[in-house]
Amino acid sequence: MSKTRHLVDPEIHPLLEMPDMDIRAETLQDIRDNPRIPLSDLPPPPFPVTDAFAPVPGGPDVKLVVINPPSEKKGRAALLHMHGGGMVLGNADMAKVGKPEIALEHDCVIVSVDYRLAPDTPFPGPQEDNYAGLVWLTENAESLGVDPGRIILYGESAGGGLAAALSLMAGDRGGPKIAGQALIYPMLDWRTGGPEDRWGNAHTGEFIWNRERNQFGWNCLRGDYDPVDERKGWFSPSLAEDLSGLPRTYLSTGALDLFLDENLDYGRRLIDAGVPTEMHVYPGAIHAFEFVPDTALQAQSRADFKRGLQRLMG
């Protein structure tokens, strides 16, 4: 019997009826090969979207999906996007749905990174792919009509965690300057759902992305890495000891999302470190709640994100 169904906003109950994904090593490739909603079934982007490739030191070039709407404006902002999928699923082509509309609305460029997935490529492979995407975007800013001082990192779920990790990497390496980070229910703490879970919240994580799936994703990413060295925050941003100097942050999450507690804690720590931070927690919201169309929660989160992104863009 469900413990939290009565707390879920009734408008997003269609999400509760979706069959659970049995994500484990034996089923992972089949889930990748047979997504619930194939991209071919979705409407095409409203303008041409192109691919580019960025060199990755020690690895194959990483594909980038470049969403560059027609514009006469120079010095536009750019979003470097990292997709969700629990570190083990998804691809950058997912950005062809929804992201072109964001690019048009804000007259900005969006570049989505097709980072390698775990467990095929464990830490730090995906992080290095995203860093390569950031370097590529910075080096190609002029040809894209982008101001390299207006680059914002953006991701949902695992992508939000990878965006937070990239902010830390760029700072630690003295890499490209980042103007902001937009973290949508980010996957930040590898301990959540495991024996070292710091929260044990009885009202989060029952639906869509639960503790077992979370641990599977993190263990795939971890491989044989022991997160105790200076790179531990690149692996799991919640482990970073110093958040000072990070860029302005927009962070949103659901009150029933598995990531609620780690998101609140990260936002509090950002504020304590002097980072301008905007946080939103949506009541009755589970993971991926905004995918149910025409709901009050979706409208509210979209309006908040629009205003928050405008503030990050400056």
Q: pLDDT band for 1, please (50, 70, 90 cuts).
A: confident
Distance CA 275, CA 267 (A): 9
pLDDT of 116-168, one tens digit each?
A: 999 999 999 999 999 999 999 999 999 999 999 999 999 999 999 999 999 99
- In this prediction, residue 198 carries a pLDDT of 95
Distance CA 127, CA 300 (A): 31
* Mean pLDDT on 203-220: 97
Residue 36 has pLDDT above 80, yes or no: no
Task: Work out the percent of the chain whose per-residue pLDDT is above 70.
Answer: 100
Strand partners, 50: 66
- Of 187, 189, 194, nearest to 161 by C-alpha is 187
Retrieve residue 168's tokens.
Answer: 């830390």
CA dist 205 → 196, 212, 256, 257, 276 (Å): 16, 10, 6, 5, 28
Retrieve residue 194's tokens.
Answer: 């495991």
Residue 67 has pLDDT above 80, yes or no: yes
Taking the chain, what is the end-to-end CA distance rounded to the nearest angstrom?
48
- In this prediction, residue 245 carries a pLDDT of 97
pLDDT of 244-301, one tens digit each?
A: 999 999 999 999 999 999 999 999 999 999 999 999 999 999 999 999 999 999 999 9
* Mean pLDDT on 47-70: 97
pLDDT mean across residues, the chain: 96
Q: pLDDT band for 42, please (50, 70, 90 cuts).
A: confident
Q: What's the pTM value of the predicted model, to 2 decimals?
A: 0.97
The 10 Å Cβ neighbour count of residue 155 is 29
pLDDT of 222-243, one tens digit each?
A: 999 999 999 999 999 999 999 9
